[in-house]
Amino acid sequence: MSNAVVAPAVEGPEFTRAGLNLADASLGARVLFVTDEFFAPRERMLDPAPPVFYPDRYDDHGKWMDGWETRRRRSTGHDECVIRLAMPGRLMGVDFDTSFFTGNYPPAVSLDACYCPGGDPGDDADWQTLVPATPLQGNDHGFREIRSDQPWTHLRLHLYPDGGLARLRVYGKPHCDWSGLREQDEVDLLALAHGGDQVAWSDAHYGEPRKLLRPGRGVNMGDGWETRRRREPGNDWCILALGHPGLPRRVEVDTAHFKGNYPAACSIQAARVAPGTGTVQSLVTQSMFWPVLMAEQPLSADSVHRFETLADLGVITHLRFNILPDGGVSRLRLYGRPQA
């Protein structure tokens, strides 16, 4: 059996860096319905890992392909599927990835969306076209910008008329309806599902800070924020935005799977930042002087650390998470009470 060929990384548009892939199966996205999946099952299309190709791999249905692939259509019509996003979100752009699909990619695709926060869409769902029919090329990335200010929960992908897609990545910002959470005593104000996000960081050589905000515990050492080995004075840090202004009450720092590369200690600074004031770079500068929310605390390998002694800073919107001097952290939770 030949070794796997991994699709190379590409430099995508700005929305691929600014947005979260809401069609990521590891976050909970699922394909609910397909018209056909004869050659390759639906689940592969939402795999967060890069597509792979085995030159000599075949199965009972033919050539093994890493993606979703339908049979050759011998009738009128076209193939489609319905996807439930990992969480509701305002969408910024999409990547129709046809890596390794050279003679079996769809000549064109389109993308619809609907908002059904209470469940999955029925026959009366109000589908809106986000990406009209657009041509694709084989073994390529079909990046398309999406301009929409409203949140969506489900997508409907059309293949014209049939074929295969290695990956569907849909980038956006998670949307949280805080009207139902403000009365709760305590929520994770940093969770991705609640709108928490990364803003800036000193280094992210092995993993971006956004991974700190993912649900559950990390699955391995690659599922967290990890910096390179620091060879100069100072320490690494990241700035995170809360999903909603809130009063912080307790912190959890999880170093799951980080055993020989966890930080020796950590601390947190925080502030309330008015919307639209300054730039990312000015925020980085200002964050150096934010008051301390949590004083420096020692960390240990592969453990959940809970800290409840926090300074009373009032309502905050952003925090600066300092790790000393470098290393990796799997998850960061900031539990508190949302404020109007």
The separation between CA 41 and the C-alpha centre of its own chain, rounded to angstroms, equals 22
Spatial distance between the Cα atoms of 331 and 329, rounded to a whole number of angstroms: 6
Q: Would you place residue 278 in the very low, low, confident or very high pLDDT band (cuts 50, 70, 90)?
A: confident
DSSP for residue 212: G
Single-letter code of the amino acid located at 77: G
Phi, psi of 151 (to 5 degrees): -80, 155
- Contacts of residue 156, Cβ cutoff 8 Å, sequence gap at least 6: 80, 81, 82, 83, 111, 112, 113, 114, 127
Lowest-pLDDT range of 72-81, 98-107, 161-170, 181-190: 181-190
For 282-317, how does the pLDDT look when each residue is reduced to its tens digit (9 = 90+)?
999 999 999 999 999 999 999 999 999 999 999 999
pLDDT of residue 116: 96
Spatial distance between the Cα atoms of 80 and 87, rounded to a whole number of angstroms: 21
Q: Would you place residue 96 in the very low, low, confident or very high pLDDT band (cuts 50, 70, 90)?
A: very high
The 3-class SS string of 268-315 reads: EEEECCCCCCCCHHHHHHHHCCCCEEEEEEECCCCCEEEECCCCCCCC
Q: Would you place residue 112 in the very low, low, confident or very high pLDDT band (cuts 50, 70, 90)?
A: very high
Single-letter code of the amino acid located at 222: G
Assess contact for 174 and 195: CB atoms under 8 A. Answer: yes
Long-range residue pairs from 108-111, CB within 8 A, at least 24 positions apart, any chain: 108/133, 108/134, 108/135, 108/136, 108/160, 109/133, 109/134, 109/136, 109/142, 109/157, 109/158, 109/159, 109/160, 109/165, 110/134, 110/157, 110/158, 110/160, 111/144, 111/155, 111/156, 111/157, 111/158
Assess contact for 264 and 324: CB atoms under 8 A. Answer: yes
pLDDT of residue 316: 98
Confidence (pTM): 0.93
Average pLDDT, the chain: 96
- Contacts of residue 14, Cβ cutoff 8 Å, sequence gap at least 6: none
Average pLDDT over residues 202-216: 97
Q: Would you place residue 204 in the very low, low, confident or very high pLDDT band (cuts 50, 70, 90)?
A: very high
pLDDT of residue 183: 66
Percentage of the chain lying above the pLDDT 90 cut: 94
Spatial distance between the Cα atoms of 107 and 333, rounded to a whole number of angstroms: 44
Quickly list H helices, the chain.
Answer: 15-18, 280-287
pLDDT of residue 35: 98
Average pLDDT over residues 266-276: 95
Assess contact for 130 and 146: CB atoms under 8 A. Answer: yes
pLDDT of residue 104: 97
Whole-number Cα distances in Å, 250 to 162, 189, 257, 262 = 51, 11, 23, 21
Per-residue pLDDT at 252 exceeds 90: yes
pLDDT of residue 81: 98
- Contacts of residue 171, Cβ cutoff 8 Å, sequence gap at least 6: 15, 16, 18, 19, 20, 21, 22, 91, 92, 93, 94, 95
pLDDT of residue 2: 64
Per-residue pLDDT at 220 exceeds 90: yes
For 39-83, how does the pLDDT look when each residue is reduced to its tens digit (9 = 90+)?
999 999 999 999 999 999 999 999 999 999 999 999 999 999 999
Percentage of the chain lying above the pLDDT 70 cut: 99
Instruction: Give me 85's structure tokens.
Output: 């996003």
pLDDT of residue 228: 98
Per-residue pLDDT at 147 exceeds 70: yes
